[in-house]
Amino acid sequence: MISYAPLFANEHDRLWNPDAIMFNSKVAYGISSYWVQTFFKQSSGAKLLKVQFLNHSLPEHTYATAISWTSKEDKKDHITIKVVNFNNVTFSSKISFDGVDANSIKAWRKTVLTCDDLEADNTFDNPTKVVPISSLIESEVGEDGIDLVVQPYSFTAFDLITNAQHSSNSSKSNNTP
């Protein structure tokens, strides 16, 4: 597996590190590259979407992709937008997707992996210094697109649910895909 050490290492500084999970007799933790890899667990069988930035283009050192995928557990259709912001300022934009009606999308959750210290990584002394934090998305999806706000020095995944569902499961919470 490919490891990025530190979390946002220059593309030329890639290292191969097979030890993504560190442990001893008292502590086990994932290093930052382990957490980056967890952002790609839905990518198998996903369809890449073309993202349109409506109010401007991506700033230099900011990268974005979007995929559509269907959950194997609940059969709901999802869109996940992943944005890497290598800059030290917040990035805000409104986006839409080619071939996807914004009215069919419901905002759900965002997961952010960030740290002010670009050289930081998790250690035995601080095993949770760089870990993803998930929260519900508070912004609404409008006819003219989706508002995204991305923190400085971060890798953020925005998870959306489409209204087109293959089946429903009434025992699930409204906050689960």
Span 26-85, pLDDT tens digits: 989 999 888 988 888 866 678 888 888 876 778 888 888 899 988 888 788 899 999 999
Query: What is the structure's pLDDT at 43?
Result: 67
- Per-residue pLDDT of 100-109, as tens digits, reads 877 788 888 9
CATH class of 2-165: mainly beta
Q: What phi and psi values does residue 103 have, to the nearest 5 degrees? A: -70, -15
What are residue 149's DSSP bridge partners? Answer: 92
pLDDT digits (tens, 9 = 90+) for 129-140: 999 999 998 766
- Matching residue, tokens 């991506």: 58
Smallest CA-to-CA distance from 80 within 53, 48, 55 is with: 48
Cα(83)–Cα(65) distance, integer angstroms: 7
Mean pLDDT of 171-177: 34
CA–CA distance, 177 with 160 (Å, rounded to integer): 9
Is the peptide bond between 177 and the residue preceding it cis, with omega within 30 degrees of 0? no
Domain boundaries defined on the chain: 2-165
Pairwise CA distance, residues 146 & 101, whole Å: 11
Within 13 A of 103's CA, how many CA atoms are on the CB side? Answer: 1
Kindly state the average pLDDT of the residues 133-155: 84
Q: Is 143 helix (H, G, I), strand (E, B) or coil?
A: coil
Most confident of 90-94, 102-106, 160-164, 169-173: 90-94
pLDDT of residue 173 exceeding 50, the answer is no
CB atoms within 10 A of CB 80: 23
